[in-house]
Amino acid sequence: MSRDSRKPQTALQRTLTTLALIIGSALPVIIAFVLVASTNDGGNPLDRIPDYGDPMIETLSVPFDRAGPVETGFRYYGRARIVVEGSGILAGAGTLDALYVFAGEDGTPLGTPQLVAGGLVIDGVPALDALSLAAEPPDYAGDHLYSAIYDLGSDYRRVRFSVAGSGSGGTGALTVTIVQLQ
């Protein structure tokens, strides 16, 4: 409503002007609420939008005595750095870290550590394959610390980690840190 400088506004005009301002300023909040509350898949659409301002970093413990996978709390996409540290003992396999068996079942060190087909498993795939390291695996690390890039493609999802063959009787754990790269 326009205000004519020769005539003062009536109470009704002032009320309508105030009401229009309140509704106009609340409209963005109402639209945001509707977007968040109503989705086709039952999830919050804002959960699918990554926060580029804060780096996503998460550290998980993947025990050798747990049969199921450990899943990240955050969802990752594109490329992420995976850093794995630690070792443990699996019955029937010996002492191993994420990529190598380095001692027998009795704890006797192997002369040469051997690449392990199992070890760390990422999203159901052995780490050597998931991290594209099978063709050129890293050298055995005496400190049991390995780092590589994991490419999730355009997926935006949680990542699952486990130890192949883990379960009852296993001891030790791998510490896995995942860092979202941009």
Number of domains in the chain: 2
61-90: per-residue pLDDT in tens? Answer: 999 998 899 999 999 999 999 999 999 998
The token pair that represents 127 in the structure block: 């780490």
Q: Residue 41: which domain range?
A: 1-48
Is the Cβ–Cβ distance between 51 and 137 less than 8 Å?
no
Residues 108 and 65 placed together within one structural domain of the fold: yes
Closest CA to 35 of 49, 45, 47: 45
pLDDT digits (tens, 9 = 90+) for 114-155: 998 768 999 999 999 999 998 999 999 999 999 999 999 988
Boundary of a domain, candidates 48, 66, 84: 48
Q: How far apart are CA 153 and CA 147, in angstroms?
A: 19
Q: What one-letter code names the amino acid at 150?
A: Y
Summarize the confidence of residues 7-12 as an average pLDDT: 78
